[in-house]
């Protein structure tokens, strides 16, 4: 994953060098242990390799992934705990209104949960939406697949079959000109052209 970061950083240097300052130093083995202990599960190795180089981004409007900030391990824990706290109330409201817990309308390979404790939020857009590593897929899915989770929409999209595939698809799209940079305070950094 070192090569992946080199490609991303090269693109940033050419297109928006100020973004380089938002990248944190690499995560430590203690950071990974803390997250794995909380999740009671192992993190994918490709994720750990990627994060050992840069532990996400500092708080910024220059977001790395199409308006989403790459979360640090500390922020992953904070967002995950927020969802863990909110889910019982969301389920209770749905039971009262619809007679069942909250459910999503996912792509195949993703469980119908509204939120699942084995979904690891790795990005955030400031509105409650995230790209997540899914460690508890449907029987047809792959552990470690990347999904899109929306806070107020039941859609759950399968984005990639692994963290590595997600990163390299993104790098390929950078090279194809799919993305541009923006200084917009609410939606800045690297954003899709369309």
130-134, strands of its sheet edge to edge: 105-106, 155-160, 145-149, 130-134, 119-121
Give the single-character DSSP code of 2: H
Residue 24 has what pLDDT? Answer: 97
The tens-digit pLDDT sequence of the chain (194 residues) is 899 999 999 999 999 999 999 999 999 999 999 999 999 999 999 999 999 999 999 988 899 998 899 999 999 999 999 999 988 888 888 888 888 888 888 888 999 998 999 999 999 998 889 999 999 999 999 999 999 999 888 899 999 999 999 999 999 999 999 999 988 877 789 999 97
From residue 95, how far is each of 99, 102, 105, 116 by CA, in Å?
Answer: 4, 8, 17, 17
Residue 40 has what pLDDT? Answer: 92
CA-wise closest residue to 131 among 194, 27, 21, 50? 50
Ramachandran assignment for 144, one of left (phi > 0), alpha (psi -120 to 50 degrees), beta (any other): left
CATH (one of 3.40.980.10, 3.20.20.120, 3.40.1580.10, 3.40.1440.10) for 2-183: 3.40.1580.10
Residue 151 has what pLDDT? Answer: 86
In this structure, the strands spanning 179-182 and 188-192 are antiparallel
CA-wise closest residue to 185 among 126, 145, 128, 131? 126
Residue 6 has what pLDDT? Answer: 97
3-class secondary structure per residue, 91-119: HHHHHHHHCCCCECEECCCCCCECCCCCE
Token readout for 45 is 């190795």
Task: Give domain limits for the chain.
Answer: 2-183
């Amino acid at each position: 994953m070192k090569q992946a970061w080199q490609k991303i950083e090269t693109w940033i240097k050419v297109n928006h060098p100020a973004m380089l300052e938002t990248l944190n130093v690499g995560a430590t083995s203690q950071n990974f242990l803390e997250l794995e202990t909380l999740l009671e599960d192992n993190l994918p190795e490709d994720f750990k390799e990627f994060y050992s180089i840069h532990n996400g981004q500092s708080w910024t409007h220059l977001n790395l992934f199409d308006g989403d900030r790459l979360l640090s391990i500390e922020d992953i824990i904070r967002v995950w705990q927020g969802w863990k706290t909110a889910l019982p109330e969301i389920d209770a409201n749905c039971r009262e209104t619809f007679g069942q817990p909250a459910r999503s309308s996912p792509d195949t390979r993703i469980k119908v949960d509204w939120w699942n404790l084995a979904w690891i939020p790795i990005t955030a857009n400031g509105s409650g939406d995230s790209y997540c590593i899914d460690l508890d897929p449907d029987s047809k899915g792959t552990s470690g697949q990347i999904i899109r989770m929306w806070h107020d929409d039941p859609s759950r999209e399968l984005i990639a079959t692994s963290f590595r595939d997600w990163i390299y698809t993104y790098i390929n799209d950078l090279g194809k000109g799919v993305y541009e940079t923006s200084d917009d305070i609410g939606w800045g950094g690297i954003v899709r052209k369309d």
